[in-house]
Amino acid sequence: MSRHRIQVTVNGVVHDFARWSDGGKPRRGVVTPGSDVTYTAEYRPRLPAASGPDLIAEIIEAAGAPGGSPAVAGGRGRAVIRISNTGAARFSGTSKVGLYLSTDPTLDDADQLIAAPARRLRLAPGASKILRLRLIYPAVAGSYYLIAEADATNAVPETDESNNAAASAEPLETLPA
C-alpha cells in the first residue's frame, strides 16, 4: 500500500493539500512548459479527528475478464475495491472512486486513469463497502500496479486527505493481445 502525505502547518493547524488549480494530483512530474504557467495549490484545514469522515480505499482483487482469464492488453478487466470510513463521523453521498495504472505503487500525475465511477456511499464510522468495478487495460502490454483512490475528485472534506490511495500489493502483468 502506498500513501502520499502533503501537508503544511499554519499557526498550529494542519492543512492538507486539497487540489492543484488545474486538478492535478499532489505528486506530479516536472515538465518544462513552453510558456510561463502558474499553478496554485489549495490547502484545507484538517477537520478535527472527532468531527469528520475519513475515506480510504483498498484493492481486494484485480484480474482479467470474469472467469479467471488473465489480464490482456486492451482487454476488459475487473477490480474489487473496498472503500472504508475510518473517521468518527458518518459519510453519506456520492463520491468518485479513481482507478489508475502505474509503473510504481505511488499515485502521481503520470499514472493513467482507467476508470472513475461515481458511487453512492453510506458509511457509518468503521463501515466499509465493497465495489466491483470494470476497467479496460492499456493497449500496451506490461507490468502495472493498480491504484485505487477514494474521493478521487476530493469533493469530500475528511479528517485525513493523505491516505485515500492504495496500490495493489503486486504489479499486475498484462499479456500482449
Considering only the stretches 29-37, 117-125, 131-139, 145-153, report the one whose residues sit in contact with Ca ion under the rule CB under 5 A.
145-153
Closest approach of Ca ion to the CB of residue 152, in Å: 9
DSSP conformation class of 48: P
* DSSP-derived pairing of the beta strands 76-85 and 118-123: unpaired
Q: Which of 65, 61, 167 is nearest to 107 (CA)?
A: 167
Q: Which stretch binds Ca ion (CB under 5 A): 39-47, 108-116, 121-129, 160-168?
A: 160-168
Looking at the Cβ atoms of 91 and 144, the one nearer to Ca ion is 91
C-alpha cell at 123: 458509511
Count, residues near Ca ion per rule CB under 5 A: 10
Q: Please, what is the minimum distance in Å from the beta carbon of residue 1 to Ca ion?
A: 13
State phi, psi for 25 to the nearest 5 degrees. Answer: -70, 160
Choose one: 29-37, 66-74, 92-100, 155-163; the region binding Ca ion (CB under 5 A). 155-163
Distance separating alpha carbons of residues 25 and 22, to the nearest angstrom: 9
Q: What's the half-sphere exposure (Cβ side, CA atoms, 13 Å) at 78?
A: 10
Residue 123 contacts Ca ion per CB under 5 A? no
Gyration radius of the chain over CA positions = 17
Residues 21-50 that bind Ca ion (CB under 5 A): none
| Three-state DSSP state, 127 | coil
Cell of 92: 453519506
Task: Note whether 151 binds Ca ion by CB under 5 A.
Answer: yes
Residues 6+ apart with CB under 8 A from 69: none
Residue with cell 472527532: 50
Rule CB under 5 A: say whether 160 interacts with Ca ion: yes
Stretch that binds Ca ion, among 98-106, 137-145, 154-162, 169-177 (CB under 5 A): 154-162
- 85 near Ca ion, rule: CB under 5 A: no
* Choice between 64 and 87, CB closer to Ca ion: 87
Of residues 91 and 145, the one with the C-beta less far from Ca ion: 91
Task: Point out which residues bind Ca ion (CB under 5 A).
Answer: 54-55, 151, 154, 156, 158, 160-161, 163-164
